[in-house]
Amino acid sequence: QDLKNEDLKDMQELGQGNGGSVKKVEHTPSGTIMAKKIVLIDAKPSVRKQILRELQIMHDCNSQYIISFYGAFISDPNICICMEFMDKGSLDGIYKKIGPIDIDVVGKVALAVLEGLTYLYDVHRIIHRDIKPSNILCNSKGQIKICDFGVSGELINSIADTFVGTSTYMSPERIQGAQYTVKSDVWSLGISLIELALGRFPFADDSSDNSDLSDFEGTLSPSRPGPLSALPSAKQREAKEKADKRKKRKSKGVSLQGGGMTMSILELLQHIVNEPAPKLTPEDRFPAQAEAFVDSCLFKDPDARLTPKDLLKHPWIEQSRISSMDLEAWTSTF
């Protein structure tokens, strides 16, 4: 029962990201609805085959917090990955539609992501590498699951070679070129949770003159942090920013792609490395335990940060676990 392209009927475009697009499709022989991710890979056939082999690990990833995998195949020049379709989409789409997400829901999200990360790491020694709201999906049964984790080393390399990936959820140690660890995912989770609770990307509010960062989606090769020493002069930066703003307006806020790093992305990365981590603010708006949890995800020193497994014991997470918040009812509101 190998998957093949002829058996998949396109239904709807679900979205586009760095290095691919995702479609809702029907597997006509079985009637199963799936999400088909198409990744353009500029690599030799042998590398493509290697990627396909590595992706097979996903067949063994069985957890209620991980998107199920139906199979992958090569459809030249693309690799197609077929996975469970989540009918409420990703959390970035949800907050952009309904506004800031209730902190009790955010608590359930934190719990699900930590469970998913713990499963991936404890059972398969897989580090996710790309935790962000668009990789946290939701369905109308009220389930929350993570997708797009780094199972294939070859795929990670090929995408890094071909495209520039999102960088703005990247931890300070990653930006500085350190080894990826499961604690880097914890940083990305912290940033994502603030984004969901505030309804906007958190690196924006500290000064008024860089308010253009509010809808900022920076891109940079995830495996190749830029040389932060090569920072532009203020004048160059200003000119570049103006050009970028024009470009962004034209492309309706779609993330800047293909051209690699822009000056303002370097600035953002520098900010992440040098400035205090963002927080769940204003202080009286959120439960103290939620604030404390996010703070602990965002310790800038990775040695001080806990692992997903340890964070499952955090009081806010324990509370979220027993909370009566009904996610199924919540998803029926949008």
Q: Active-site positions?
A: 130
- For residue 217, give both structure tokens: 């989606």
* Residue 292 main-chain phi, psi, to 5 deg: -65, -40
CB-nearest residue to Mg ion: 148
Is residue 182 a contact point for ligand ADP (CB under 6 A)?
no
Among 25, 69, 80, 89, contact with ligand ADP (rule: CB under 6 A):
89
Q: In terms of C-beta density within 10 A (0-12 exposed, 13-18 middle, 19 or more buried), how is residue 168 classed?
A: buried
Binding mask 145-164 for Mg ion (x = CB under 5 A): ---x----------------
Angle between helices 182-198 and 103-124 (to 10 degrees): 160
Amino acid at site 64: Q
CB of 20: closest distance to ligand ADP in angstroms?
Answer: 5
C-alpha radius of gyration, the chain, whole number: 20
Residues 16-45 that bind ligand ADP (CB under 6 A): 16-18, 20, 22, 35
Give the residue with the Cβ less far from ligand ADP, 140 or 211. 140
CB of 131: closest distance to ligand ADP in angstroms?
Answer: 11
Give the residue with the Cβ less far from ligand ADP, 159 or 290. 159
CB of 38: closest distance to ligand ADP in angstroms?
Answer: 9
Annotated binding site for ATP: 37
Q: How far apart are CA 295 and CA 195, in angstroms?
A: 14
DSSP secondary structure letters along 257-316: -SS---HHHHHHHHHHHHSPPP---STTTS-HHHHHHHHHHT-SSTTTSPPHHHHTTSHH
Give the residue with the Cβ less far from ligand ADP, 170 or 290. 170
CB of 95: closest distance to ligand ADP in angstroms?
Answer: 12
Angle between helices 315-322 and 103-124 (to 10 degrees): 110
Binding site for ligand ADP (CB under 6 A): 14-18, 20, 22, 35, 67, 83-86, 89-90, 93, 134-135, 137, 147-148
